[in-house]
A and B are shown apart, each in its own frame.
Chain A
Amino acid sequence: MHQEEAKLNLYSKMFLIRSFEKRLFDLFKKGKLFGTTHGCIGQEAVAVSVVSTLPKDTIYFSNHRCHGHFLAYSDRPDLLLAELMGKKGGVCAGRGGSQHLCYKDFFTNGVQGGIVPVATGIALAEKLKKSGRTVCVFIGDGTLGQGVVYESMNMASLWSLPILFVLENNQYAMSTFVRNAVAGSITARAEAFGIRSWDIVTSDVFAMCQTVQKACDYIAEEPRPGFLAFETYRFCGHSKSDECHYRTAAEVQTWAEKDAFEILQTSIKDKGKRELIEQQCLNRLEEVVREVEAMPFADV
Chain B
Amino acid sequence: MYISEAINKVLFELLTTNPEVYLMGEDIESPYGGAFKITKNLSEQFKSRVINTPISESSLVGVASGMAMRGLRPVLEIMFGDFMTLGMDQLVNHASKFHYMYNGQVDVPMFIRTPMGGRRGYGPTHSQTLEKLLLGIPGIKVLALSQRHSFHDIYIHAVTKEKCPVILIENKALYSMRQELPENGRSGDFFITESAGPYPCLTLSLNNFVSADATVVTYGGMLPLVEKAATQLCLDEEIFVEIVVPSLLGVPLDINWVEASLRRTGRLVIVEEGTQSFGFGSEVAALACSKYFKLLKYPVIRIAAADSPIPCARHLENLVLPNEANIYQELKWGILNDS
Interface size counted on chain A using CB atoms at 8 A: 32
Q: Do the beta carbons of B94 and A121 come within 8 Å of each other?
A: no
Binary per-residue interface labels of chain A (210-225) against chain B in the complex, 1 for a CB within 8 Å, 0 otherwise: 0000000000000000
Smallest CB-CB separation from A135: which chain B residue? Answer: B66
Smallest CB-CB separation from B105: which chain A residue? Answer: A102
Min C-beta distance of A195 to chain B, whole Å = 15
Residues of A contacting B61 with CB < 8 Å? Answer: 117
Min C-beta distance of B60 to chain A, whole Å = 7
Q: Do the beta carbons of A117 and B102 come within 8 Å of each other?
A: no
Min C-beta distance of B28 to chain A, whole Å = 15
Residues of B contacting A111 with CB < 8 Å? Answer: 89, 93-94
Q: Is B53 an interface residue (CB 8 A)?
A: yes
Q: Is A136 an interface residue (CB 8 A)?
A: no
Q: Is B143 an interface residue (CB 8 A)?
A: no
* A103-158 at interface with B (beta carbon < 8 Å): 107, 109, 111, 114-126, 128-129, 147-148, 151-152, 154-155, 158
Q: Is A100 an interface residue (CB 8 A)?
A: yes
Q: Is B261 an interface residue (CB 8 A)?
A: no
Q: Do the beta carbons of B59 and A122 come within 8 Å of each other?
A: no
Q: Do the beta carbons of A124 and B66 come within 8 Å of each other?
A: yes
Min C-beta distance of A155 to chain B, whole Å = 6
Min C-beta distance of B294 to chain A, whole Å = 33
Q: Is B100 an interface residue (CB 8 A)?
A: yes
- Bound: A115/B62 CA distance, A: 8
Q: Is B208 an interface residue (CB 8 A)?
A: no
Q: Do the beta carbons of B101 and A118 come within 8 Å of each other?
A: no
Q: Which of A6-14, A26-34, A88-96, A267-275 contacts B (4 or more CB under 8 A)?
A: A88-96
Q: Do the beta carbons of A155 and B56 come within 8 Å of each other?
A: yes
Q: Do the beta carbons of A120 and B56 come within 8 Å of each other?
A: no
Min C-beta distance of A142 to chain B, whole Å = 16
B22, B90, B97: the one within 8 Å of A117 (CB) = B90
Q: Is B241 an interface residue (CB 8 A)?
A: no
Q: Do the beta carbons of A118 and B62 come within 8 Å of each other?
A: yes
Residues of B contacting A116 with CB < 8 Å? Answer: 59, 62
Q: Do the beta carbons of A148 and B67 come within 8 Å of each other?
A: no
Q: Do the beta carbons of B70 and A126 come within 8 Å of each other?
A: yes
Interface size counted on chain B using CB atoms at 8 A: 33
Min C-beta distance of B106 to chain A, whole Å = 7
- Bound: A227/B207 CA distance, A: 67
Q: Do the beta carbons of A92 and B66 come within 8 Å of each other?
A: no
Q: Do the beta carbons of A121 and B53 come within 8 Å of each other?
A: no
Q: Is B58 an interface residue (CB 8 A)?
A: yes
- Bound: A128/B72 CA distance, A: 9
Q: Do the beta carbons of B102 and A122 come within 8 Å of each other?
A: no
Q: Do the beta carbons of B62 and A154 come within 8 Å of each other?
A: no
Residues of A contacting B54 with CB < 8 Å? Answer: 151, 154-155, 158
Residues of B contacting A129 with CB < 8 Å? Answer: 70-72
A92, A114, A115, A151: the one within 8 Å of B103 (CB) = A92
Residues of B contacting A121 with CB < 8 Å? Answer: 62-70, 74
- Bound: A196/B102 CA distance, A: 33
- Bound: A111/B53 CA distance, A: 24
A102 touching B89 in the complex, CB below 8 Å, given contacts A121-B66, A124-B63:
no
A118 touching B65 in the complex, CB below 8 Å, given contacts A128-B22, A148-B58:
yes
Report, nearest first, the 5 A-B pairs whose CB atoms are least far apart: A121-B66, A117-B62, A102-B102, A125-B70, A121-B63
Q: Could you list 17 A-B pairs, sorted by A, with CB under 8 Å?
A: A95-B100, A95-B101, A96-B101, A96-B102, A102-B106, A107-B98, A116-B59, A117-B65, A119-B66, A121-B74, A122-B70, A125-B67, A125-B72, A128-B67, A129-B70, A151-B54, A151-B59
